A and B are shown apart, each in its own frame.
Chain A
């Protein structure tokens, strides 16, 4: 079946540090890939997405590239801010595998300190 594995947290960084959160996936078809972010006390918000191999999703300084050869979709940001502190979820949607729902990784908590 489809699954998403992302690095365990928590991740603690100083402001302006470089961020990488690793995400790898297993899918039987050709999935679309997503990063969602959850700020404290809120629901999930879509951060970025990529729908086919080699696509790069980007938003608010975050980027992730869909790598089919390594089945990865790592999230990166060049310079994090305190306001980026949140839980980040990698997810996939694989319509080609039939009626399967969005599958999430377990989430990575990021804390950015000033």
Chain B
């Protein structure tokens, strides 16, 4: 069974640009969650999508947005990039929504390393 895939793996952008990252979940998984990982803040939750609906959102500005398609693939978009957006962006898929089960295992992709210059 194929794991979670994320594209691209590495990305370099300049301040003010926008970027779109893609995540393909494990087949049959309907929940996709996005996290930002930085050395200073650790892993921070961005948002979760389940069956094309945003179920939960972390404490990030509106420049961060996402969507999920009918095949459960998800994209996240960051507009007007800032230097502080440089991070590893991880997505995780699970069969159930996070709110439906507290022991619902999430499977993580390898991440997209975004560097903003």
Q: Is A101 in contact with B45, judged by CB distance below 8 angstroms?
A: yes
A94 at the interface (CB under 8 A from B): yes
Q: Considering the chains assembled together, what is the distance between the CA atoms of A41 and B108 in angstroms?
A: 12
B12 at the interface (CB under 8 A from A): no
Q: Is B110 in contact with A101, judged by CB distance below 8 angstroms?
A: no
Q: A101-B45, A102-B45, A105-B42 are in contact. Are A43 and B90 (CB under 8 A)?
A: yes
**How many residues of A are counted as interface, with CB atoms below 8 angstroms from the partner's CB atoms?**
26
Q: Is B42 in contact with A95, judged by CB distance below 8 angstroms?
A: no
Task: Name which residue of chain B comes closest to A89, CB basis.
Answer: B43
Q: Is A99 in contact with B102, judged by CB distance below 8 angstroms?
A: no
Q: Is B98 in contact with A99, judged by CB distance below 8 angstroms?
A: yes
Which residue of the partner chain, among A51, A103, A105, contacts B103 with CB atoms under 8 Å?
Answer: A51
Task: Name which residue of chain B comes closest to A95, CB basis.
Answer: B102
9 sampled A-B residue pairs with Cβ under 8 A: A32-B102, A49-B103, A95-B100, A98-B99, A99-B99, A101-B58, A102-B33, A104-B42, A105-B42
B-side residues, CB < 8 A to A, are 4, 33, 35, 42-43, 45, 48, 55-56, 58, 90, 92, 98-111
A-side residues, CB < 8 A to B, are 31-32, 36, 41-46, 49, 51, 89, 93-96, 98-107
Given contacts A43-B92, A43-B111, 4 further A-B contacts (CB under 8 A): A43-B4, A43-B108, A98-B99, A102-B98
